[in-house]
Amino acid sequence: MIQRRSIISWRRRRAMRAAAATLAVTALALAACAPGEDNDGGEEAAPSDIETNVADMGDITLTVWDQQVRGGQAESIEALNAAFMDQYPNITIDRVSRSFADLRRALRLAITGDEAPDVVQANNTRSDMGAFVQAGLLRSLDGYADVYGWNDRFPDSVRATASYSEDGSVFGEGNLYGVPQVGEVIGVWYNKAKLAQLGIEPPQTLADFEAALQTAKDAGEIPIQFGNLDQWPGIHTFGFVQNQFVNKDEIRDLGFGREGGSWTDDTNVQAANTLQDWVDAGYFTEGFNGLGYDPAWQDFAKGQGVFLVSGTWLLADLRDAMGDNLGFTLPPIGETGDLTVTGATGLPFAITENSENPDAAAAYIDFITNSDAMQTLAEAGELPVVDAGEQQVSGTQAEVYDAWATATSDNALVPYLDWGTPEAYDLITVGVQSFMGGDQSTDEFLGTLEDDYSSFVSENSGG
């Protein structure tokens, strides 16, 4: 017995010594390098070197990662890919499509690898596109923009949402890193039958809107259908109210994380107080903080609620359920006297630094965003980022297209509020939910956002 044990423990000792040695060696080897060391910086193609004749490029496989997995999006990108390959038989498009959330998660890993995809749809935000730019993983598209005329195709406010300085610190200006296919704005969906029944017109001003909310409330309707369990819808709801009180240039400074704005100035306080008043007046669905976003808009589609403040991405789903009963209008004009609309584009298509065929990739991006492509998108029920006013559409789709055309041509677009700083998404989602739930005061809510914004801005400009 004793002998056996001693053999075992000797064996164990030996094994442990070996393990310890392995650990030590591994630790030494590992300490010698740092994670992510094999990435190198970005470079830019000069217009003169750019090859635009795709047919002469030889046989190329372009790997494209997109997030167009739903209905009209999937339909249009498939049609456009097929058309591109028809026109240029030497190009094969290897399409990898994932849902938005999956794409975001996978992109970080994919884009750093040697086998990186050529074209990716990258989220505009600092934490995504901004971080990629900073790490030198995306190519500046300025050269291609000159060659293909993208600066004329896309208005300033659209290009700003995918522009960064070369080091990724400044958002909203600088080099262009991606161009989008579709647009989206936050506006007011309304139930036409209920509006008629209540004898109200689609609201054009803040006063109209507040009167309509009260009328709806008095009639026992849910004035604004709202579900904020998922927290991100709160960004849009607060932004919607803010649009009516805060100057659009200031919202842009806040949203792009640039110097010049303040979350705690009078206009933002007014916006927050108004939102609080609406909550207190019972203008939102009861228990909205415990209601999911999807159930909320589905309830609206079923006829619960007069208004729904949300994005144009709901067009296809709501139209299917409500038909001609569905209406859409831009946010009412409030204290600023200016039309201001939270909106952006769909995820921009960008070219990775590790792409071996950037010219072919640029030609592809040009192809899927030209005016023929815009028509394909409109036919699939998507909101094309440009030429929306020229599409042959009717009904609610026409209302949405007109709204987009108005917002872009009036230069009324302001970015999403969570774009400003790396922490903004977390703070504003939690903030709006707690604020509307009565767990935070106006001072706490705006103060937290201001602390984050001002420290980010000063760090960003100082460093």
Partner 1 sequence: MTDVTEATPVARTPAPRAHPSRQGPPGEPRRVAYLYILPAFVFFAGFMAWPLLHGFWLSFYEWDGLTVGTWVGLDNYHSVLTDPELREPFLHSLILVIFFSAIPIVLGLTLAGLMMRARLRGMPFFRTVLFLPQVIAMVVVAIAWGHIYAPDGPLNDLLRTIGLDDLTHAWLGEPSWALVSVGVVGTWVGTGLCLILFLAGLSKVPRELYESARLDGAGALREFLNVGLPALRGELAVAMTLTMIAALRTFDLVYVMTPNGGPDRSTAVPSYEVYKRAFIDGEVGTAVTVAIVLTAIILVVTIGINRFAERGDEVRL
Decide: is 48 part of the binding site for partner 1 (CB under 8 A): no
User: What distance in Å separates the CA atoms of residue 315 and residue 402, rounded to the nearest whole number?
Assistant: 13
Question: Measured between alpha carbons, how far apart are the two ends of the chain, in Å?
Answer: 69
Question: Of 291, 222, 263, which Cα lies nearest the Cα of 447?
Answer: 263
46 binds partner 1 (CB under 8 A): no
Residue 265 exposed, middle or buried by CB count within 10 Å (0-12, 13-18, 19+): middle
Q: Check residue 289 for interaction with partner 1 (CB under 8 A).
A: yes
Report if residue 36 touches partner 1, rule: CB under 8 A.
yes
User: Per CB under 8 A, which region of 200-208, 281-289, 355-363, 411-419 contacts partner 1?
Assistant: 281-289
Asked if 429 interacts with partner 1 (CB under 8 A), we say yes
Taking a C-beta distance cutoff of 8 angstroms, is the pair 417, 343 a contact?
no
Q: Which residues of 343-353 are buried (b: 16+ CB within 10 A; e: fewer)?
A: bbbbbbbbbbb
Q: How many residues bind to partner 1 according to rule CB under 8 A? A: 48
C-beta closer to partner 1: residue 10 or 92: 10
Stretch that binds partner 1, among 33-41, 271-279, 346-354, 363-371 (CB under 8 A): 33-41
3-state secondary structure of 310: strand
- List beta partners, residue 224: 284, 307
Task: Figure out which of the listed residues 34, 48, 86, 115 binds partner 1, where binding follows CB under 8 A.
Answer: 34
Stretch that binds partner 1, among 30-38, 62-70, 210-218, 319-327 (CB under 8 A): 30-38
- DSSP codes joined into one string, 43-71: ----GGG----GGGG-SEEEEEEE---SH
Part of the chain binding partner 1 (CB under 8 A), chosen from 71-79, 225-233, 236-244, 399-407? 225-233
Rounded least distance, CB 366 to partner 1, Å: 27
If one asks whether residue 308 binds partner 1 (CB under 8 A), the answer comes out as: no
Non-local (6+) Cβ contacts of 399 within 8 A are: 327, 328, 329
Cβ atoms of 289 and 439 within 8 Å: the answer is no
Binds partner 1 by CB under 8 A, chosen from 430, 442, 447, 456: 430
Is 127 or 169 the residue whose CB approaches partner 1 more closely? 127
Q: Is 32 in the site for partner 1 (CB under 8 A)?
A: no
Contact 50, 144 (CB under 8 A): yes
Pick between residue 272 and residue 436 the one whose CB is nearest to partner 1.
436
Q: Which is nearer to partner 1, 22 or 458 (CB)?
A: 22
Among 79, 193, 229, 316, binds partner 1 (CB under 8 A): 229
Output 99 or 411, the one with its CB closest to partner 1. Answer: 99
Q: b vs e for 85-106, b when ≥16 Cβ sit within 10 Å of the residue's Cβ?
A: eeebeebebeeebbeeeebbee
**104 near partner 1, rule: CB under 8 A:** yes
Find the shortest distance in angstroms from Cβ 39 to partner 1.
7
Rule CB under 8 A: is residue 279 a binding residue for partner 1? no
The reply to whether 463 sits near partner 1 by the rule CB under 8 A is: no
Written as six digits, the tokens of 195 are 């509006």
Position 324, amino acid? D
Say whether residue 290 binds partner 1 (CB under 8 A).
yes
Token output for 123:
């989220």
Each residue of 380-412: b (16+ CB within 10 Å) or e? bbbbbbbbbeebebeebbebbbbbbbbbbeeeb
- Does position 26 bind partner 1 by CB under 8 A? yes
Kindly state whether residue 37 participates in binding partner 1, applying the rule CB under 8 A. yes
Residue recorded with tokens 């609620």: 305
Q: Binding of partner 1 at residue 310 (CB under 8 A)? A: no
Chain positions contacting partner 1, by CB under 8 A: 1, 3-4, 7, 23, 26-27, 30-31, 34-37, 39, 104-105, 108-109, 111-112, 127, 131-132, 134-135, 137, 228-232, 285-292, 295, 422, 426, 429-430, 433-434, 437, 439
